[in-house]
Amino acid sequence: MSDLNLILLGPPGSGKGTQGERLTEDFDLPYFATGDILRAAVRDSTEIGLEAKRYMDGGNLVPDQVIVEVVAEALDDEATADGFILDGFPRTLGQADALDAELKRLDRALTAVILIDASDEEVHRRLGGRRTCRKNGHIFHVTFDPPKNAGVCDVCGAELYVRDDDKPETITNRLKVYHDQTEPLVGRYRELGLLKRVEGSLPPDQVGDRIRALLATLRMEEEL
């Protein structure tokens, strides 16, 4: 397999970030989350980064085309010669069309789109159970990693609270946006033969093992 160009797809809280970091370590590939790419472009004062900054400073959403250009700028780099991992992009069919055009311009092609799937109930359980240290940001979970004393950070003794992002109404809204805007990508990439589904409710190590097995199979198929 000449290069390994991957998209991680799935609802919020499905574990895309965790698996993206593991894939980065396993395959030594650059990992791009949309927010990180935007912040890096702004920090480096690239032409596109400065354009994005104007929207961000004004409290406005960065338009799709600017996001696409920021992503394309990141992909058009020596560091991606052996591949890349995209997380959080594309989010819509329009962004997917734009990404296809940019990849064609760069003479690149997607290897696979890995759907880390999880039910709405599982997402609520994961995100809704998080508790954050008000002082230093340490994160606990009422089920998976509970503090020794309820509501108190084990590390510094500060209060643990529920962030706005982890409140039930916010999680419900984030899931609605995912189902309305991002989930149609599942059908698109399935039709293209690129979609590989992994059960995201499994423990992270098992999810990682299944993803590595999928990629090993793709490598073997290419060699046949």
Domain boundaries, the chain: 4-30+77-119+168-223
- What's the gap between Cα 108 and its chain centre? 20
How is residue 204 written in tokens? Answer: 């992270």
Q: Which two tokens stand for residue 27?
A: 């395959």
CB 131 within 8 A of CB 142: yes
Superfamily of chain region 4-30+77-119+168-223? P-loop containing nucleotide triphosphate hydrolases (3.40.50.300)
Is residue 146 packed enough to be buried (19+ CB in 10 Å), middle (13-18) or exposed (0-12)? middle
Per-residue pLDDT of the chain (224 residues; tens, 9 = 90+): 568 999 999 999 999 989 999 999 999 999 998 878 888 888 888 888 888 888 877 767 678 888 888 888 888 888 898 999 999 899 899 999 999 998 998 899 999 999 999 999 999 999 999 999 999 999 999 999 999 999 999 999 999 999 988 999 999 998 998 999 999 999 999 999 999 999 999 999 999 999 999 999 988 887 76
Helix (H, G, I), strand (E, B) or coil at 189: helix
What per-residue confidence (pLDDT) applies to 88? 84
Distance between CA atoms of 109 and 75, rounded to whole angstroms? 12
Show contacts of 145-149: CB within 8 Å, 24+ apart.
Answer: none
Element (H, E) at 198: strand 195-199
Q: What is the pTM of this model?
A: 0.85
Q: What is the pLDDT of residue 67?
A: 84
CB 20 within 8 A of CB 31: yes
Residue numbers annotated as active site: 16, 91, 130, 163, 174
Per-residue burial over 155-194, b if 16 or more Cβ lie within 10 Å, else e, is: eeeeebebeeebeeebbeebbeebeeebeebbebbeeeeb
